[in-house]
């Protein structure tokens, strides 16, 4: 079965701390990888995506993610978070069946 796992359900950190959110998937074929963010009361927005090429991709608002094929992982990072990064973050994986599979999401709370 295809699945997407996000390791942390809730992360709490202070402003200026570094953030890393884990995402692993179980699928042996070609994948397209995404991170979406959902700010409180808003809809999902794309943070970044990986299709091919350089496995380190940069997105909006200072986020980046690294695809490690051998580990089936696509972890999201930000060196220094801000209060405005408080949100829920979803990893999503597109596989050969043309659909996206989402992880359960990680709630990030940044304390001022």
Partner 1 sequence: DADVTQTPRNRITKTGKRIMLECSQTKGHDRMYWYRQDPGLGLRLIYYSFDVKDINKGEISDGYSVSRQAQAKFSLSLESAIPNQTALYFCATSDPGLAVTDTQYFGPGTRLTVL
Binding site for partner 1 (CB under 8 A): 4, 6, 9, 30, 32, 34, 36, 42-46, 49, 51, 90, 92, 94-96, 98-100, 102-105
CB of 9 to partner 1, least distance (A): 7
* Shortest reach from residue 95's CB to partner 1, in Å: 7
3-state helix, strand, coil in the chain (%, to 5): 10, 55, 40
Cα dist. 4→11, 30, 35, 108, 111 in Å? 18, 14, 12, 18, 28
DSSP, collapsed to helix, strand or coil, labels residue 96 as coil
For residues 16 and 51, which CB has a smaller minimum distance to partner 1 in the complex? 51
**Three-state secondary-structure class, residue 66:** strand
Which residue, 16 or 104, is less far from partner 1 as judged by CB? 104
The smaller minimum CB distance to partner 1, of residues 11 and 100, is found at 100
């Amino acid at each position: 079965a295809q699945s997407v796992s996000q390791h942390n359900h809730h992360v709490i950190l202070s402003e200026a701390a570094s953030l890393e959110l884990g995402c692993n998937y179980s699928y042996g074929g070609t994948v397209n990888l995404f991170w979406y963010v959902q700010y409180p009361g808003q809809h999902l927005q794309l943070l970044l995506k990986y299709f091919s090429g350089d496995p380190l991709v940069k997105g909006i608002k200072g986020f980046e993610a690294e695809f490690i094929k051998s580990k089936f992982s696509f972890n999201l990072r930000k060196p220094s978070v801000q209060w405005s990064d408080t949100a829920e973050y979803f990893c999503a994986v597109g596989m050969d069946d043309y659909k996206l599979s989402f992880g359960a999401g990680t709630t990030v709370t940044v304390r001022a």
